[in-house]
Amino acid sequence: MQPRRSARLLGAEDYLFSFVDRARALAEAAGADVIPLGVGDCDLPTPPHIVAALRRAAIDPAQHRYPPYEGTSELRHAAARYLRRRFDVGADPDTEVTVTLGSKEAMAHLSLAYLEPGDVALVPDPAYPVYATWARFCGAEVVRMPLREDNGFLPDLSAIPAHVARRAKLLWVSYPNNPTTALATRAFYDELASFCTGYGIVAASDAAYSEIYFDTEPPPSLLEAPGAMECGIEFHSLSKAYNMAGWRVGFAAGTPSIVEALRTVKTHTDSGTFGAVQHAAATALDDTTSGYTDRLRATYRNRTRLLCDGLEAAGLQVLRPRATFYCLVRTPEGMDAEGLAKRLLEEARVLSIPGTGFGPGGEGFVRLTVCADTPVLAEAVRGVGALRW
């Protein structure tokens, strides 16, 4: 007899990206050579100066021991310097910054630190799946905040009923946004901070794409808002800005009591990221001279243009991004998101993600990534160009 899994796990939907992996495997098994524009996993390598910093640190035996639970002092100070330089935010490296294993685990663990049965988690719709899944793992109720195009894909906080807000413990936002590619305004963050302080809600901001923008001002941080250091926490990741997705390193910064709560869960769960990786991450955050991230932004901008121009020429409607490395394609008349994704895969071999994979609010769009080199994107454009809508 097989042991029965917990109700928690039985109720969980399949992780979106594992579903995408299976769709790809099925198509490939059927003999199709799929063009993978589904998962946002950058094809470009980590910059050499960061790899060199890892190499040097990796041979130091002091790095082979357990790192400090809250992260190395070197990386927390580099994170604080980055926040000051980039957003003019002052964060105390000892009490307002903590190192994370990438941001996904830390966002999961923040849920564990705050949510219990009877609580509400306010989650954008559509959104990265981790926020809602972990709220459910904790037995909390997920209340979706629709991201509507006519509101700039920002949640309408005034539409949240007071009786729901009073039960809410966590409110998630993520800008620049995956999957909608929208940016937040400072005015929105100000409103969010005052809403969350008023109701005693943790404002959790996932800033994974804060450095991936083009044709726009650098996106702001929630932590710039008055009051954000009393209710907010922001998750920064090195995965996207420095192509370090496989390294598993990031940091969270914000309100001391919230950082402390997150640290408490993590002390009982993991024992930190390899010290040499933290040294390399500090090198990345302190880099103001290599111009790496500027070149990365230019690369995404060019790729995005190529893909969007091509899809438009093929007769599709595209939302041109100013941030992230995704393009949204509107579903043509009479077709839903899954139908469009299916048609792109079966008839043009292009793997995309239907917006509904991020929640019902993603209906009407599919998401394509530009985490692929220009010849690959050009091939996708040729394939789609042969279809009639």
Site residues, ligand PLP (CB under 6 A): 40, 102-104, 128, 174, 178, 206, 208, 237, 239-240, 245, 250
Residue 367: beta bridge partners? 328, 353
In whole angstroms, the minimum distance from the beta carbon of 284 to ligand PLP comes to: 13
In whole angstroms, the minimum distance from the beta carbon of 236 to ligand PLP comes to: 8
In whole angstroms, the minimum distance from the beta carbon of 124 to ligand PLP comes to: 10
If phi > 0 it is left, if psi is from -120 to 50 it is alpha, else beta; for residue 208 that is: alpha
Q: Rounded to an integer, what distance in angstroms lies between the CA atom of residue 119 and that of residue 117? A: 6
Q: Residue 165 or residue 208: which is nearer to ligand PLP going by CB?
A: 208
In whole angstroms, the minimum distance from the beta carbon of 245 to ligand PLP comes to: 5
CB-CB contact of 206 with 172 (8 Å) = yes
Q: Residue 91 or residue 249: which is nearer to ligand PLP going by CB?
A: 249
Q: Residue 207 or residue 231: which is nearer to ligand PLP going by CB?
A: 207
In whole angstroms, the minimum distance from the beta carbon of 248 to ligand PLP comes to: 7
In whole angstroms, the minimum distance from the beta carbon of 3 to ligand PLP comes to: 29
Closest CA to 39 of 52, 29, 24, 54: 24
Q: Residue 72 or residue 237: which is nearer to ligand PLP going by CB?
A: 237
Q: Residue 160 or residue 323: which is nearer to ligand PLP going by CB?
A: 323
Q: Residue 348 or residue 368: which is nearer to ligand PLP going by CB?
A: 368
Burial of 32 (0-12, 13-18, 19+ CB in 10 A): middle
Q: Residue 172 or residue 292: which is nearer to ligand PLP going by CB?
A: 172
In whole angstroms, the minimum distance from the beta carbon of 262 to ligand PLP comes to: 14
In whole angstroms, the minimum distance from the beta carbon of 19 to ligand PLP comes to: 16
Q: Residue 192 or residue 348: which is nearer to ligand PLP going by CB?
A: 192
